[in-house]
């Protein structure tokens, strides 16, 4: 994960998919939970900052649950835009910490939940990132909100296809294509094996 971030930052790769065992977004400064012992995204960001001069980074968190650990680490850091799709609506005073309440909206939308979720992601992330101007985009890709997984929001593969398109196009527009996708929550191997290869294929096409 840290190596993937460094390869991107140093121009050896345009983008990467970090296929890791467990995500880290529930690990904060002095607590951990939800099978997250270390906050891998924060560790990668801090490595790039200390060793390579990274300044501004934007994180889109599409795990079904609130990224409380990542939020804790970067709560007072205006150089990190953290947009998290979860169960509450919140925008910090400086506009860099954002939660979007998608639970109810998706459940009410029924078969239109993909559309509603993507619209929420676009509305919260795309609009802010253009004024934020990050050097790197990180997509914390949880798929536990897929229909039938433990964070079921009724989402299907179409939602994740839309999200990879969104993050790739924003990375292309804002930061030379630099996009790191990090595997977050999700428990079903059948879903993983269906959802992940097309995402990697899209990244590979964009990076070729």
Shortest spacing between CB 26 and Zn ion, in angstroms: 8
Q: Using the rule CB under 5 A, is 146 a contact of Zn ion?
A: no
Pairing status of strand 90-91 against strand 97-101: antiparallel
Rule CB under 5 A: say whether 86 interacts with Zn ion.
yes
**Contact between residue 88 and residue 101 where contact means Cβ atoms under 8 Å apart:** yes
> CB of 87: closest distance to Zn ion in angstroms?
7
CB of 52 to Zn ion, least distance (A): 28
Q: At its nearest, how many Å lie between Zn ion and the CB of residue 110?
A: 22
Looking at 84, 168, 175, 181, which residue binds Zn ion (CB under 5 A)? 84
**CB-CB neighbours of 157 under 10 Å:** 16
* 162 sits near Zn ion (criterion: CB under 5 A): no
Helix (H) or strand (E) holding 25: none
Residues facing 180 on adjacent strands: 16, 138
Task: Say how far apart CA 45 and CA 49 lie, in whole Å.
Answer: 6
Burial (CB count <10 Å: 0-12, 13-18, 19+), residue 18: buried
144 binding Zn ion? (CB under 5 A) = yes
In the list 26, 65, 97, 178, the residue contacting Zn ion (rule: CB under 5 A) is: 65
Site residues, Zn ion (CB under 5 A): 63-66, 84, 86, 99, 142, 144, 185
């Amino acid at each position: 994960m840290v190596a993937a971030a460094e390869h991107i930052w140093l121009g050896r790769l345009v983008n990467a998919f970090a296929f890791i065992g467990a995500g880290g977004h529930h690990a904060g400064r002095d607590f951990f939970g939800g099978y997250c012992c270390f906050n891998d995204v924060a560790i990668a960001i801090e490595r790039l900052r200390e060793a390579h001069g990274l300044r501004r980074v934007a994180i889109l968190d599409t795990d079904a649950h609130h990224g409380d650990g990542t939020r804790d680490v970067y709560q007072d850091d205006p150089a990190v835009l953290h947009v998290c799709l979860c169960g509450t609506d919140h925008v910090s005073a400086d506009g860099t910490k954002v939660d979007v309440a998608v639970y109810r909206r998706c459940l009410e939308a029924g078969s239109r939940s993909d559309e509603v979720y993507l619209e929420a992601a676009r509305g919260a992330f795309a609009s802010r990132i253009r004024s934020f101007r990050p050097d790197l985009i990180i997509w914390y890709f949880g798929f536990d909100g897929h229909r039938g997984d433990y964070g079921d929001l009724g989402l299907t593969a179409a939602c994740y296809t839309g999200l990879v398109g969104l993050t790739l196009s924003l990375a292309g527009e804002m930061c030379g294509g630099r996009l790191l996708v990090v595997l977050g929550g999700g428990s079903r191997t059948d879903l993983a094996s269906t959802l992940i290869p097309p995402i990697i294929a899209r990244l590979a096409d964009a990076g070729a």
